[in-house]
Structure 1
Amino acid sequence: MVINETFYKYMSSDTALTVLNDTTLKFSNTLDFNDPFDYNPAFSTIGLSKFIKRVGENKEVKINRKKAMQNCKILTTDEFRREASSEFSVTCFSKSPHIVPMWAHYADCHSGCVLGFANASVEELNNMLVSSQWLWSHDCDFLIPYDVKYTDARPNIFNSEGLTNTRENGFDACVIKAKAWEYEQEVRVIKLKPAGIYPFHLSQLRSIRFGLNIDPLQRKKIIGMVTSITKSNSMKIRLFDVKMDHKNFKFNDVKCS
Structure 2
Amino acid sequence: MGTVKLYKYLDYNGGLMMLSYSNLQFTNATQLNDPFDCHPSLIDFSNVPKEACGSCPPEIIEESRRAPFRRNREQVWICSLSKIHDSILMWSYYSKHKGTCIGLDMEKAKKYLSRMHGRIMISCVEVEVQYKDMVEKPDYFRDTKDFFHYQLSTKAKAWEHEQEVRLFILAPSPTYRILLPHQNDKNGPIDWKEVRAFPKIGGECFESVYLGINMHTDEKSKIISAARKLNPDMKIYQMGIDTNAFRLNTELIK
Instruction: Sort the TM-score into its range (normalised by shorter chain).
Output: 0.7 to 0.9
Q: Distance in 2 between matches of 1:111 and 1:43?
A: 35
Does the alignment pair 1:254 with 2:232? Answer: no
Secondary structure in 1 matching 2:104: strand
Q: 2:29, 2:76 within 8 Å by CA — same for their partners in 1?
A: no
Aligned residues: 231
Q: Distance in 2 between matches of 1:112 and 1:47?
A: 45
1:9–1:44 Cα change, 3 Å: closer
Q: Distance in 1 between matches of 2:133 and 2:60?
A: 28
* Structure 2: 5+ residue stretches without partners: 173-195
TM-score (norm 1): 0.76
Q: After TM superposition, give the deviation of residue 41 of structure 1 in Å.
A: 3.7
**Range that drifts further, 216-225 or 187-196:** 187-196
Does the alignment pair 1:146 with 2:127? Answer: yes
Secondary structure in 1 matching 2:75: coil
**1:219 matched to which residue of 2?**
220
Aligned residue runs from structure 1 range 24-39, under 5 A: 24-39=23-38
Does the alignment pair 1:72 with 2:53? Answer: no
Aligned residue runs from structure 1 range 80-159, under 5 A: 83-105=71-93, 107-120=94-107, 133=115, 138-139=120-121, 144-154=125-135, 156=137, 158-159=139-140
Q: Distance in 2 between matches of 1:200 and 1:167?
A: 32
From 170, 182, 186, give the equivalent of 2:148: 170
Q: Distance in 2 between matches of 1:240 and 1:81?
A: 41
Q: Distance in 2 between matches of 1:104 and 1:149?
A: 23
Q: 1:42, 1:154 within 8 Å by CA — same for their partners in 2?
A: no
1:168–1:154 Cα change, 3 Å: farther
Secondary structure in 1 matching 2:107: coil
Secondary structure in 2 matching 1:7: strand
Q: After TM superposition, give the deviation of residue 251 of structure 1 in Å.
A: 0.7
1:245–1:44 Cα change, 3 Å: closer
Q: Distance in 1 between matches of 2:250 and 2:130?
A: 28
1:62–1:41 Cα change, 3 Å: closer
Q: 1:13, 1:112 within 8 Å by CA — same for their partners in 2?
A: yes
Secondary structure in 1 matching 2:9: strand
**1:210 matched to which residue of 2?**
211
1:191-230 per-position Cα deviation (integer Å, ceiling 9, x unaligned): 2334522222332210000001101111101111222223
Q: 1:120, 1:144 within 8 Å by CA — same for their partners in 2?
A: no
Q: Distance in 2 between matches of 1:253 and 1:158?
A: 46
Q: CA RMSD in A?
A: 3.4
Secondary structure in 2 matching 1:248: coil
Q: Percent of aligned positions with the same letter in both sequences?
A: 22
Aligned residue runs from structure 1 range 18-29, under 5 A: 18-29=17-28
Q: 2:26, 2:78 within 8 Å by CA — same for their partners in 1?
A: yes
Q: After TM superposition, give the deviation of residue 87 of structure 1 in Å.
A: 3.1
TM-score (norm 2): 0.76
**2:16 matched to which residue of 1?**
17
1:210–1:5 Cα change, 3 Å: farther
Q: After TM superposition, give the deviation of residue 137 of structure 1 in Å.
A: 5.2
Q: What one-letter code is carried by the residue in structure 1 that aligns with 2:151?
A: A
* Structure 1: 5+ residue stretches without partners: none
**1:8 matched to which residue of 2?**
7
